[in-house]
Structure 1
Amino acid sequence: MGGWHDAPRAPPSRARREERRSFAARAGGAPWRVAIAPVKDAARSSSSGDALRTAVRSFLDDSSGLGPPPDGDATPAEISADVLLLARAVNRPDVGGAGEASTSGRGALDALVGDLLAAQRLHLDREFVATLAEYYLGALTTDDADEEDPRATQNSLKTLAQLLQEGGAHLAAREVDALISALLAKVSYKKTGGGGGGGGEAESRSARNGARDTARHAFNALGALVSRASPGSVSPRAHAAVGEAIVASLDAETRGVLSSPAGAPSTLGRDRPQEDAGSARLFAAATRCAHVCAGAPGGGGEARLTWPDEVVGALVTHLRRFFAYGLSSGSAPGGGGGDEVPTSPGRGGYVPPHLRSGGGGGVAADRGYGSSDSDASDAEGARGSNGGFGDRFGASKVRTNAALCVSALARADSRSMHAHWPKLLPTSVTQLLARSPTATIVRCALNDPSPRVRAAAMAATANLLEGPATKRYLAAAEVRTNPKTGAVVRANFASLSSTLGDIACATHEALTRAVRAEPALSCVPAACKALGAFHDAAPFARLPRDMIPKSMEAVMRRLNELPPGPEGSAQDPEVGAARVSLLAALTAVLAAKGAPAEVTGSLSPARSSGTTGASPSLASSVLPALVRYAAGGEGHGAATRCEAFGALRAAAAAHPAAVAAMLDDDDSFGFRSILPAMTFAASGTDDGADGAARVAQASAKLLADFLAAVGGGVGGGGAGADDDPSHQQHREKAREDGFFSLPPDELASLWDDVASSQFPAMTLHPSPLVRAAGLSAYAGLTSDALAGTSRVNRQTLVDAPRATLANERAPAVRAAACRAIGALAALTTNESSGAALRDALEPSVDLLLRAMRDSAKSVRLPASWAVANVCNTAARRSSIVSAGALAKIAESCVAAATQEGDKVRANAARALGYLVSAADFSSEPSSAWLPGVIQALMSCLTTGNAKVQWNACHAMAALFRNPSTAAGDSAWSPLVVRMLLMLMRDTRNFKIRMHAAATLATLGERSEFGNAYPDVVSIVTAALESLETMETETGHSGHSQGPGDGESALADLRYKPQLGAQLAATLLRVLAMGTAEDAGSVRDTLLKKRDVIRGAVDAATAALESFPRVGLDGAFPEDPFGTSRGDATGTRGEGHDDVAVRGAGSSGPERTSSLDMSTLARALSPGKGGGEDDEDGEDDEDREAGERRADLMAAAAGLARMYGALGEDGEALASHYRGL
């Protein structure tokens, strides 16, 4: 490759930009086509390359001083093609065969390309970007590094970074890898030593600065390449190499700096980053590269590339050093040493620079309202006339990028950052002091003089605390206190839980300080976001009781200090943003889980407790203040009002008693004025403004959440929620634990008001979102409330959803109407309201079935859920829906179970289970749709997600329990049994296996197993035996499938005792049906697994002795939809006797392989199951206990028959079981 070797002058540089020369300087010159014409003519001629080199040089010379020619008639695509021609000409070998282009030509081309990219005059496509990338790849890859011109290389790197920033997505993976390798070579350099003197030292310093500048521009290009490359273009190996290069560069810069600057903490002296302009620019580039490269998108954009733990750990160590970079108090900003940092004139304590008053009189006299975080505030060496602390050599950029890098690492993989929390977050309140020797991201957020740095540090803190993985990790945090004195109890050994507790307390203290005292309004949103993330993740039940009151106090004090008036005013545009963020933080505080009970009392406007640590006046004023913000009385905009409504919704869900206290007759707190009827009347509904609709929707949602909260959590909207048994069981347990509920007369009066005034306003609103939000209030309707309303209002409540579903056009409203009908169907009504409900459900069936075929999936899903609730009601009260309607439902559910998505299929399977549990298939109407139901349920057993399969298991159990199905004489029964065995053998989901085993236990006759009986005995026994090793296998398989699968598999382990109990009960039920003729087919299992079988019998005997009269109400496996009144895992936690299911040679019980004895006792006799309402008294419990013991005796008798038929091999075992 050749060029102009005799060029006498230096290559063009970016000096023109710094002199602020405008591109308009060439506006009067020749247009692009005219200026480039000589170059094109020379390229087309067949003469030597001298003419082309001369033409190119002339064109670039003209462009280097005055800027590129104006476009004229040239298009961006034409200019891009001409630039490629220039690049090929510069790279063209000369006659002498020189191996490289001239420095002057490259520099001029770099300047031209940079100017055109900045002016957006180029058409960036695959060909253009790839060709220029190859050109720069050749320019950066030289054989002789000693002859390389550092300035030319830096210009090429700057232009390449510009190109990659705009068009990096056009590069292929091969080109990306090649560029990364070339750029890493420019980053990897050895730090030059400082030995020698005179000219040698000057040359060494110059070489070191040149290498730093080259590395800095290479980092910029690397960041642009990795962040802009298309997903999957950056290989994991190349991405890891980038992280290693960043760490290596930071190591090289910090290694050997053994002395601390004057005034710096002594613990930071070792490997402290050098503080000068050149180092600061390199550190800023390196940390910015790390920020944009962390978590680069992987293949398909579905996963993020993450760095190895070693890279993350080394990088975090360097980032921690940068949190105080450039803030040493011994040297003045800008290099001067004569100015002393002002101290507090009051008590002599240290005050951070951004909290010092300008005139020296007092601390933080001015909050800084209206201050601007502009570039001038972080200018190099800036020092205001008031003696404020400025930015030394751009060091604030290093601190900002370090904080942003922490944010990026946390977003990419929050779990990898957990091990570094003690480095990044404080473990003691003393570490929050400005002169603390421990540098943390939180201390930086509190004490840094730059608002930009403080905001970035707060954002990093928020990202560290966000995410489900972080919530699970922080759940282990605990601070133990003395119950009498309240003092923290310390142990000699600092466990993980105590360390996390210390981190939580210190971080909470820092966040409340930041919210309360942050002087720059531009930083308040970041501080509020961090405080909200903390309250979403922290386990307050294990932390000091005063944390939530302190948070409320900090937020309320800051809200009260904000200037009054509407947000967005010309006086201060940042006030509104700060107010909205503070209300969002208050929402998170009010919604925090684990809040002590006295917080609700302190929030009540009527009274407040002074034992919570917060000011009673402040705590009791929280809810009235939110009502005022929601009402918009001071001219607050829609954003503020909606956030206030959101905070009230959070308070209604977590502290319903406090919100209900504002519902007085004279409306002294104004709560009724923010309900939909008065809100719509005040704002009007004819302006069509988006803000008014948002406020109206927020008001309707507040009413819906408030009704659900004050109803005691027993509304019909929670029935079968999401088809997940755990949801319904949690709801039932919460009801037992004592949910707040208004007295029945007050609740009925409230619903009378809703039916007479609130519902008409919501259903007639022009916004479909408001109408949908209004219908969601049915989720809180209870049976007592419906029965207590007047006849007219009761009829309004029952008829409104059906009328809406029949006439509504918006899919969101139709979906809400379906949910409302489903909530009504789930209610247990009395005679006064039962007639109205019966009259409403029958005509609603056709509307729901039509909705199940709706074009919108958002409508089909709630429609199927509502149909399942209707079937549940029909199963319990056969007169509420006619036989013809049930036949229509069966036909629609069969179609949905075989053709729809998994969520709809789960609801359809649930509905079919309720139908077959109550139908009489001996009659003609029902027998006609039985085959279709069986085929649909068999399809759900073999395909679909977990919810589809366990709902199908429950439906099959109902099918086997129904004697009119004649399962023993059918051909489908053995097929279903084998499908259930496949689920027990192959699936990894413990709950599916548990429901499959429970379904097998419902078979009542030996003929129902058919020829599958030997397989049932073998597989159930093997499953029970392998349960010991299931935990290890589950963890390994989860690791191999991915992090998400591993977490779900480990979460399933909590069902291990219940699964073992159900497997044992199922095995005994199956063995009880064995006959002497079966002995030959099950011989191997009976003899080889005799220890497992005997262990199951012994465990069942112990279970019946420990729980002789346990009721069926809490049977976990029998009731996957939570229709019973108990919780097998939670209501009897005080008395579990757990024994291991082990062979006769086992050494003793082990907790990891134990059975839940109460579950085993219940599972021994499945009973009727389903959705029937059993009212068991003392006699019923005695009868059930007798049935369970009879089942155990039947199992022993079956074992005695089969072992006896085996001859001498089984005679001893037969004698043992005969003795039982």
Structure 2
Amino acid sequence: MAAASSSSSSSSSAATAIRTWRTAFLTLRDETSTSSPKSESIAQLLQDLIFTQSSSLLSAASDLPAHELTSDLLLLLELAANCPPQHSQDYVPIFSNISCLMHDICQRQRVCLQINASSWTIILQSYGKMLQILLGKPKPGAASLSPSYAPTNRPAMDCILTLRHLVDIYHQKSSLLDNSQLVNFLLHVIECSHLHLLSSSHTSTNQMSSSATSKRLSRYSNLWQVQTIALTMLGEAFVRIGSSFPPDIWQSTIEVLRKVMDVLAAKNLLVEDNIMSRFYASLLNCLHLVLTDCKGSISDHVSAFVVALRMFLVYGLATRMQFAGPAHDHWEKELPLRSLKSTSEEPVSKNCALYRPPHLRKMDSSYMKQSTAQDSHCSSDHECYVSVFMSSDSECSDSDGSGRDNNSFQSSKVRFGAICCIQDLCQADPKSLTSQWTMLLPINDVLQPRKFEPTLMTCLLFDPSLKARIACASTLAVMLDGPSSVFLQIAEYKESMKWGSYMPLSSSLGQILMQLHTGILYLIQHETHSRLLPSLFKILMLLISSTPYPRMPKQLLPKVVTGLLARTEHGFSFKGDQIGLLATTFNCLTAALSTSPSSLQVRHILLEEISTGFVKAEERSGVLFTLFQYSEQLSSPTICFEALQALRALTNNYPDIGAACWGKVFTVVSKILSVAASEVPTRTWKANVGDNVGYIGEKVIIAAVKVLDKCLRAVSGFKGTEDLPDDQLLDTPFASDCKRPKKVSSAPSYESEVAENTKEEGQAFHSGSEQWSKAIEEHIPFALWHTSSMVRTASVICFAGITSSVFFCLTKEKQEFIVSSLANAAVHDEVPSVRSAACRAIGVISCFRQICQSDP
């Protein structure tokens, strides 16, 4: 009985609320449509009919039909949009009440409105008019700083939160025109609010302390939040339909973001609190989303963006380190090791408590408490604002140390956003960004954290956020890739350059390359995060390929080689990625050993290892010993292949070293081919090409044959390459009839940097025919008859590296074997690459003087 009475009472009160709503809005429609009332009378009507009974109207909203509710709210918005400009300031209270009512209905009651294209246009126009007045240009002087202006911040916050709610409802049905209108609206809001903050809260901030500035900004926290939400909505619009926006929309967005960034750069002061962290993060994320799909040139904006983005690279780090506890010198010594330790090694806290997921811990942050204390009447608005930026669990997990502290987590998001924007600039306009390298990369003391210079290497070395460090490594890789490799060829290291004096670009680039080598090699030696190490090796690979080592210190390349060797000896503690990381290390070593021209210092290291013998080299794990050791690890084909690639590069670039190591090379190749011979059947020339590969793998067999090829070329004494410019010249019609002497050879160029040759080198060249005889007897026949066409191609190419002196020192049977094998391959092999290689080798042998002078 009591329940029925309660239900009847509830229905009665709901019916009364609905009747009150309809009476109020029908009266308002009649009064505003039958005549043309003055603005004062409209304001009075709204006050008497709507706002004096807003609480009862609010209770009726959820029980009204959606189309009726939408129509009545649009009436309010149209009345607000039609206010005369001369009375706009008088309408500020009306706008405040309208924004509050709309916010309560949409956000608190969670009532869905029926929105279409026409109503969407009315909503944007009305909110645009209200925000233009609420965020209009403040009065100059002290009046703009008076507390009387602060209450208008909250209605602006209500407007932007309500609009965001409506966008979430309508965006799936919205058209390109609707989204374009939204973007223009948001750009206007960002400009207006930033103009207010510039003239109000940032007045004379250059003469104020950071703490005073922070207190001043807290008075305008709602305005910062308005900008933050507007920037977030702008970024979401570009995510939804950014690829369809016309270029003028994109250009307008870039220009507005440029203005905001210019103001931050001009003030040269970033405030480190939660509200500002969210603003900076949303600004940088919006810029990142806009730059992802460029629809125009950004060359005029790159330098300005870099100046502003550079400030964010150490955002939140200086304050955090000041309160870290240890003394400055102690921190300087310990930070590199501490920051490079795996999170799994962090000590367990002594203060045990019930577990709370990271995303719930954020709700307990000091920022929530401070905001509640400062503005208790806006607590619901603040909850809506925080919910806009509530991160997923994956963004703030237990594996990330920054997730334990909300402020540090927000700061890390800011640094991450800045790094991503720098990468976007590099991808969009790499040529323009190269001129900003001196601002983004260090030129001295890269391993010294005490200076805390805002550079990408500072982030990579010392940032406590793994996510930011990985993004930084990716950005460095993008910067070093592409056109910058050509740009860096002008780099030159000058040790006598004085700091502070004018430094030419070539010297600056030389210093940058030195610091990059120092920092990356240090990280490769000490880094323990498996997610970061592959990026570090990629950076080192790009560094090696881009650095003009002859213009750099002579010991730089040997340091790279020995550093990689030390990391190989030390190994990797990650079971899952151990093989991949070790293979990547050998890949970098291959690049270092392939640099041209060859390094005299590296050559001395290799000769010293040969002179001491492999027994002593084994104790210290020299370069050659390491390569031969891993080349024989047939149980790991990936490692074996990469080690063979490095051995091939060494023999190719340092032929005298390859000749001196012939015996060890022959042993390694024999082991590989003997195992392969027992697993892979040979074939006849007319048989179909088979894909069956043995345990060793086709790639390993090919790599072994190519190492044998380079070593045979070394012992044969080749010191030239095929004269490609001559080939191109003969293709021209004016030079095709000319008879010109042509030098044909296939081995890589090599000119010793010392006048005298070693005894090992001379003996190796003198005994070339012996090595060739041994290879023809034991290895080459198996490769020539292999089922894989690529193996056959590699084996045929070996004959293109023989010299006339070695060829005619061979027995008649072996000479005939070479010629017949090449003829069979050129005529009968069905694979074009094999026939091409055979023809190339025939061309080399046919140019031998004895053959040319012999009778046909």
Identify the TM-score tier after normalising by the shorter chain.
Answer: 0.5 to 0.7
Preserved CA contact (<8 Å) 1:294 1:306: no
State the partner residue of 1:790: 811
Q: Report how far residue 540 of structure 1 moved.
A: 0.8
2:270 to 273, 277, 288: 273
* Alpha carbons 2:452, 2:458 under 8 Å: kept: no
**Contact 1:354/1:450 (<8 A) preserved:** no
SS at structure 1 position matched to 2:575: coil
Using a 3 Å threshold, how does the CA distance of structure 1 residues 806 and 425 change in structure 2: closer, same or farther? same
Of 490, 504, 512 in structure 2, the residue corresponding to residue 476 of structure 1 is 490
> CA 1:278–1:656 in 2, change beyond 3 Å: closer, same or farther?
farther
1:440 to partner: Cα distance: 0.9
CA distance in 1, matches of 2:555, 2:110: 62
User: Structure 1 residue 538: deviation in Å?
Assistant: 0.9
Equivalent residue pairs, number? 664
Q: Counterparts of 2:392 and 2:644 in 1: how far apart (Å)? A: 37
Equivalent position to 1:527, from 536, 547, 553: 536
Q: Is the 8 A contact 1:521 1:574 kept in 2?
A: yes
2:415 is the alignment partner of 1:399: yes
**1:631 Cα deviation (Å)?**
2.6
Structure 1 position 820 matched with structure 2 position 802: no
* Alignment match, 1:43: none
In 1, the alpha carbon distance for the partners of 2:555 and 2:825 equals 47
Displacement of 1:559 after TM fit? 1.7
Q: 1:703 to 1:330 in 2, by over 3 A?
A: same
Q: Measure how far apart 1:545 and its partner are.
A: 0.5
TM-score when scaled to structure 2?
A: 0.65
Out of 285, 300, 307, the position equivalent to 2:298 is 307
Deviations for 1:471-527, whole angstroms, at most 9, x for unmatched residues?
33222222246xxxxx77999652222222222222211121111122323211111
Q: Are the aligned partners of 2:228 and 2:282 in contact in 1 as well (CA < 8 Å)?
A: no
Distance 1:184 1:674 in 2: 70
Q: Secondary structure at the residue paired with 2:164?
A: helix
Q: Encode CA deviations 1:256-308: one digit per residue, 9 max, x unaligned.
A: 5xxxxxxxxxxxxxx2322233333333343344445446366xxxxxx5412
Residue of structure 1 aligned with 2:698, choices 690, 693, 700 = 693
The amino acid across from 1:699 in the alignment is: A
Within 5 Å, which residues of 2 pair with 1:923-962?
A: none
Residue of structure 1 in register with 2:159 after alignment = 149
Which letter does structure 1 place at the counterpart of 2:314? A
Q: What is the distance in 2 between the residues matched to 1:513 and 1:691?
A: 35
Query: Is 1:537 aligned to residue 546 of structure 2?
Result: yes
The answer (yes or no) to whether the contact 1:479–1:544 under 8 Å persists in 2 is: yes
| Higher alpha-carbon deviation: 683-692 or 501-510 | 683-692
Is this contact kept in 1: 2:720–2:746, CA < 8 A?
Answer: no
The residue that corresponds to 1:548 in the other structure is 557
Q: How many Å apart are 1:660 and its aligned residue?
A: 2.9
1:781 to partner: Cα distance: 3.5
Corresponding residue of 1:630: 631
Query: Once the two structures are superposed, what CA deviation does each residue of 1:44-66 show, in whole Å capped at 9, x if it has no partner?
Result: xxxxxxxxxxxxxxxx999xxxx
How far off is 1:445 after superposition? 0.9
8 Å contact from structure 1 (residues 787, 830) kept in 2: no
Q: Secondary structure at the match of 1:392?
A: helix
Residue 737 (structure 2) aligns with: none
User: Structure 1 residues 789 and 490, CA, compared in 2 at 3 Å: closer, same or farther?
Assistant: farther
Distance 2:224 2:70 in 1: 33
* Aligned-partner residue type, residue 248 of structure 1: K
Equivalent positions of 1:227-306 (< 5 A) are 229=243, 235=247, 238-252=249-263, 256=267, 271-294=268-291, 296=293, 305-306=296-297
Match of 2:441 in 1: 425
Match of 1:799 in 2: 820
For residues 678 and 833 of structure 1, do their structure 2 counterparts lie closer, same or farther at Cα, with a shift above 3 Å needed?
farther
RMSD: 5.3
For residues 159 and 605 of structure 1, the distance between their equivalents in structure 2, rounded to whole angstroms, comes to: 74
| Pairing of 1:1083-1162 with structure 2 (within 5 A) | none
* Aligned equivalent of 1:354, options 339, 343, 363: 339
Q: Tell me how far 1:426 sits from its aligned partner.
A: 0.9
Q: Return closer, same or farther for 1:382/1:678 CA change in 2, 3 Å cut-off.
A: closer
Residue number among 411, 414, 421 corresponding to 2:430 in the alignment = 414
With over 3 angstroms needed to count, the CA separation of the structure-2 counterparts of 1:283 and 1:200, relative to structure 1, is: closer
Q: 1:616 to 1:160 in 2, by over 3 A?
A: farther
Q: 1:325 aligns with which of 315, 325, 343?
A: 315
Moved more, 704-713 or 651-660: 704-713
2:43 matched to which residue of 1?
A: none
State the distance in 2 between where 1:288 and 1:691 align.
49
**Does the 8 Å CA contact 2:590/2:645 hold for their aligned counterparts?**
yes
Q: 2:580 aligns with which of 577, 582, 587?
A: 577
Cα distance in 2 for partners of 1:278, 1:655 equals 60
Structure 1 pair 831–205 and aligned structure 2 pair: CA distance change class (3 A): closer
- Quote the Cα distance in structure 2 between the aligned partners of 1:691 and 1:715: 33
Contact 1:504 1:538 in 2 (8 A): yes
Q: Aligned equivalents of 1:761 and 1:690: distance in 2?
A: 16
Cα pair 2:261 2:308 within 8 Å, conserved: yes
Alignment of 1:171-210 (within 5 A): 181-182=184-185, 184-191=187-194, 192=197, 193-194=200-201, 204-210=220-226
Residue 628 to residue 185, structure 1, CA distance change in 2 (3 Å): farther
Q: In the alignment, is the contact (CA less than 8 A) between 1:223 and 1:290 conserved in 2?
A: no
Distance 1:329 1:274, change over 3 A: closer
**CA, structure 1 residues 279+202, in 2 after alignment: closer, same or farther (shift >3 Å)?**
closer
**Alpha-carbon distance between aligned partners in 2 of 1:630 and 1:160, rounded to the nearest angstrom:** 63
Which structure is higher in RCO with an 8 Å CA cutoff and minimum separation 6? 2
C-alpha change, 1:506 and 1:754, in structure 2 (3 Å) is same
| Worse overlay, 185-194 or 344-353 | 344-353
Task: Tell me, yes or no, if structure 1 residue 680 matches structure 2 residue 676.
Answer: yes
Name the residue aligned to 1:1195.
none
Alpha-carbon distance between aligned partners in 1 of 2:745 and 2:665, rounded to the nearest angstrom? 33
Distance 1:670 1:751, change over 3 A: closer
Which segment drifts farther, 138-147 or 505-514?
A: 138-147
In structure 2, distance between residues paired with 1:136 and 1:778: 77
**Deviation string, structure 1 residues 745-784 (Cα, Å, up to 9, x no partner):** 5333333344344333333333333333333434433333
User: Deviation of residue 586 (structure 1)?
Assistant: 1.5
2: CA distance between counterparts of 1:520 and 1:276? 30
Q: Counterpart in 2 of 1:660? A: 659
- Residue 550 (structure 1) shift: 1.0
| Aligned sequence identity (%) | 20
CA distance in 1, matches of 2:415, 2:846: 62
The match for 2:789 is 768
SS of residue paired to 1:275: coil
Provide the rounded CA distance (Å) in 2 between the counterparts of 1:645 and 1:784: 28
Residues 431-482 of structure 1 show CA distances to partners (whole Å, capped at 9, x for unaligned) of 4311214211112111112222222222222222222x3233222222246x
Whether contact under 8 Å (2:336, 2:461) holds in the other structure is no
Q: Distance in 1 between matches of 2:619 and 2:475?
A: 30
Cα separation, 1, equivalents of 2:187 and 2:265: 19
Distance 1:765 1:100 in 2: 83
- Contact 2:825–2:838 (CA under 8 A) maintained in structure 1: no
Q: Give the letter for the 1:751 counterpart.
A: W
- In structure 2, the CA distance between the partners of 1:756 and 1:92, relative to structure 1 (3 Å rule), is farther
Residue deviations 1:24-48, cap 9 Å, x none?
xxxxxxxxxxxxxxxxxxxxxxxxx
Aligned twin of 1:34:
none
Contact 1:320 1:424 in 2 (8 A): yes
State the distance in 2 between where 1:690 and 1:224 align: 50
Q: Which residue does the alignment assign to 1:930? A: none
Q: Name which of 325, 337, 341 aligns with 1:340.
A: 325
Superposed CA offset, 1:1033-1058 (max 9, x none): xxxxxxxxxxxxxxxxxxxxxxxxxx
Structure 2 residue aligned with 1:500: 509
Q: For residue 558 of structure 1, what is the amino acid of its counterpart?
A: R
Measured in 1, the distance between the counterparts of 2:743 and 2:285 equals: 49
